[in-house]
Amino acid sequence: MEHVTDKQTRRQRIKARIHKRVRGSPERPRLVVFKSDRHIYVQAVDDQKRHTLASASTRDPALKTSLPRGGTVAAAKIVGASIAEKLKPLGIEKVVFDRGGYIYHGRVKALAEAAREGGLKF
């Protein structure tokens, strides 16, 4: 295997490796995380139907007004709590967490822990 210097290419390979093992279903959707420098996004995906059940991000109008910046750990916690609230009315408590090739640390970890505190199990 060749040495990969491009950060995005490396993350895409890790993401593909994770996605081979992690699949979402209607009862237990996949919770996918994407982060940029300025924002963080999460969506619950049913891989069988290829359908997004719910999503939340720091760019949502409801959340955007309460956040000074979107690329912080505090913002990730709010987004994690928001996705948990959006999945409750759908009757979804269990999800499969897909960290999207990112290290489980910082904003990704904060989002996951806030989602767990909001009632999601993974």
Q: Which tens digit of pLDDT belongs to each residue from 20-70?
A: 888 888 889 999 999 999 999 999 999 999 999 999 999 999 888 888 888
> Quick one: which H or E segment has residue 31?
strand 30-35
Inter-residue contact 80 to 115 (CB < 8 Å): yes
Distances (CA, A) of 23 to 27, 100, 107: 11, 13, 23
Give me the pLDDT at residue 20, please: 81
Give me the pLDDT at residue 118, please: 96
Query: Which CATH code fits 7-117?
Result: 3.30.420.100
The pTM (predicted TM-score) of the whole model is 0.86
Give me the pLDDT at residue 15, please: 85
